[in-house]
Structure 1
Amino acid sequence: MADKPSRALVLYGDGSARFVDPSHTHLHSLASKASCGFLSLPIAPPSESEGERIVREFAVLLDAYEEERGKKSVIPISERFMGMKAAIFTNNSSLKSFGTKLGLSVFQIDGFLKNSPAGAEQPVDFGASELLQLLGFQEGKAAESSQYDLVFVHVGAGEVEYLNALVGGISQIDQPGSEVSSRLHLSVVLSYGKVSENEDTNLSVSIRRDDENSNLSKLVPRQSYTVKGENPREDVSILCVNRDHCPMLIAQRQYAVTRKDMAETFSFKDFKERGGNLVIPADRFLHEVAFKLWKAPKYGA
């Protein structure tokens, strides 16, 4: 356990997982140094619009809803996580409105980059340093206090190049052994966006039906993403082929805190075969991050 709370930066590529290719070297480099795995999403409601999907999946990541007597209510992030101060950068109007309901400080990505110094050749590098400054990191040092505990950057499927460059800019600052690396908890989350029931089964994290009766399968415990408390989750089944398909891919890095696994590329195949984190429910993601920030108790083992 670290002797000081971390500060978290989450880069969220909404729908970007399909478009990562070998040219995105910064994403692959991060995966090779990180702890990698999957976040399982609930089954999507029928006839869900794209705008509704974007808000719903972000809400799941933040575990933003509380249900009582069949009614859902939004819980501000500061109430759920011990006064956590958080911000989101996004160009999506629906997400801006939802972020405000959650008590997040909301910023426009385009406007943020337009404020880069006159003549700057690398606005992404400027963006990386400015994002870290919001978390109290400047010139390789960690201030005693920061404006925010957590900063989200949400980008769409067509912005993988920007996301890759931003990871590169952050990596240049987040050097192993520095004050930044010991306090910055970096998460890169890539989703598949809208998913149909007929998605490629090669993107499934479920146990294959032909493996169900294997003697070895009895040695594999039920994964946490299939249960909530002591009960099986109704929206995720380990044997179904719905949202066992196309989970979110996640790579996390913090020097001397996260474990490096055997994954070498930011890909479904590599994460499934060599990743160390397997699958957790997406609604437990922020609880895990908040623990590193000393804003929540530990979830799971």
Structure 2
Amino acid sequence: MADKPSRALVLYGDGLAQFVDPSHTHIHSLASKAACGFLSLPNAPPSESEDERIVREFANLLDACEAYQDMSFEKSTLMPTISQRFMGMKAAVVTNSPYLKSFGSKIGFNVLQFSDLNGNDGSLFGTSVDLVTSELLKLLGFQEGQTIETSQFDFVLVHIGAGERVNSERGSDVISDTEYINALVGGVMNTAQPGSEIGSRLHLSLVMSYGNYGEMGTNLSILASKDEMNSDLSMLLPRQSYTMKGEKPRTDVRHHCPMLIAQWQYAVTRMDMAETFSFKDFKKHGGNGVIPADRFMHEVAFKLWKAPKYGA
């Protein structure tokens, strides 16, 4: 645990996990230094649209499922804002998705779009990654290698993918979205060098989901296979914690296509044996195992001194 509260930057590649390849060296470099694992999601409702999936998985990531279920109201009547839930946390989401803009505002986030960072028409590629990186860190009070004691935000989440780009067609654009995240990770890691003032205060999370995974799920199961289990001890295995909520089993757990997550903060997060940002490597070497996606926000808030205990 750091001796001062951290500030969190979350880069969320929505639906982009399957497009990470060996050429994305910054993403893999982060994984090799980070604590890696999975965030499990519930099963998708029948006939869910892509727009509904975007908001539902975003709501899970922020433990705001009640607000998602309450979407028919202008403001949520079922849950407090992010600031009320996490000890006055100042939080922002950067997105070009109109659905996430509306939902983020509803649960108390300050909503920004990419044009607020780079001053152009809102596309991700209208200016240099260095400038966008600098503007993101500035929102968290990191500027010119120094930490400003009073920051505009404690937590900034950047959503890229699943319609994030404007004035362009989808299809091959997801490849460019993944390359952009790779460059953004490189820019942040280059600025937050180990031992630097920023490196000791910045808590960086890279989250990548599979989106509409189709038939990929058959090869991306987080359950232990029969070959991985010792048959003599199989009857003694406890129920895995990600399938529980308190003392009760979760009734709706998707055991395939989880979100992939790598978290890094110099001298705060542990480093596991993963070398690449991939499902296979995380399952074999990831130190964080599997946690429910709705616990992610709580664990980050603890690093920011905005939650009373780890995993609260």
TM-score between both structures, scaled by the size of structure 2: 0.87
Q: Is contact 1:66–1:72 with CA below 8 Å preserved after alignment?
A: no
Q: Which moved more, 1:76-85 or 1:291-300?
A: 291-300
Q: Which moved more, 1:57-66 or 1:147-156?
A: 57-66
Partner residue of 1:59? Answer: 59
Partner residue of 2:263? Answer: 252
Partner residue of 2:6? Answer: 6
Specify which of 233, 248, 257 is matched with residue 231 of structure 1. Answer: 248
Q: Is contact 2:35–2:271 with CA below 8 Å preserved after alignment?
A: yes
- The answer to whether structure 1 residue 189 and structure 2 residue 194 are counterparts is no
1:103-147, Cα deviation, whole Å (9 max, x unpaired):
11111124522359xxx9961111111101110111111111110
Q: Following TM superposition, by how much is the alpha carbon of 1:209 offset from its aligned partner in structure 2, in angstroms?
A: 5.4
Specify which of 76, 81, 84 is matched with residue 76 of structure 1. Answer: 81
Instruction: After TM superposition, list the pairs within 5 Å mapping 1:150-189 onto structure 2.
Output: 150-156=155-161, 158=174, 159-189=177-207
State the distance in 1 between where 2:114 and 2:126 align.
Answer: 17
Q: Following TM superposition, by how much is the alpha carbon of 1:74 offset from its aligned partner in structure 2, in angstroms?
A: 4.4
State the distance in 2 between where 1:61 and 1:210 align.
Answer: 31
Partner residue of 2:22? Answer: 22
- The answer to whether structure 1 residue 206 and structure 2 residue 223 are counterparts is yes
Identity of aligned residues (%): 69
1:154-183, Cα deviation, whole Å (9 max, x unpaired):
000511111111001111101000111111
Q: Is contact 1:40–1:279 with CA below 8 Å preserved after alignment?
A: yes
1:74-101, Cα deviation, whole Å (9 max, x unpaired):
4311111111100011110100000110
State the distance in 2 between where 1:139 and 1:115 align.
Answer: 23
Q: Which runs of 5+ in 2 are unaligned?
A: 71-75, 163-173
Distance 1:76 1:216, change over 3 A: same
Other structure's SS at 2:55 match: helix
1:248-278, Cα deviation, whole Å (9 max, x unpaired):
0000000111000111111001111111001
Q: Following TM superposition, by how much is the alpha carbon of 1:72 offset from its aligned partner in structure 2, in angstroms?
A: 7.8
State the distance in 1 between where 2:278 and 2:230 align.
Answer: 29
Partner residue of 1:105? Answer: 110
State the distance in 1 between where 2:229 and 2:269 align.
Answer: 32
State the distance in 2 between where 1:137 and 1:103 align.
Answer: 23
TM-score between both structures, scaled by the size of structure 1: 0.90
State the distance in 2 between where 1:65 and 1:48 align.
Answer: 15
Question: Which residue type is aligned with residue 260 of structure 2?
Answer: L
Other structure's SS at 2:198 match: helix
Q: Which moved more, 1:211-220 or 1:99-108?
A: 211-220
Q: Following TM superposition, by how much is the alpha carbon of 1:201 offset from its aligned partner in structure 2, in angstroms?
A: 2.5
Q: Following TM superposition, by how much is the alpha carbon of 1:218 offset from its aligned partner in structure 2, in angstroms?
A: 4.3
Measured on the aligned residues, the alpha-carbon RMSD in Å equals 2.4
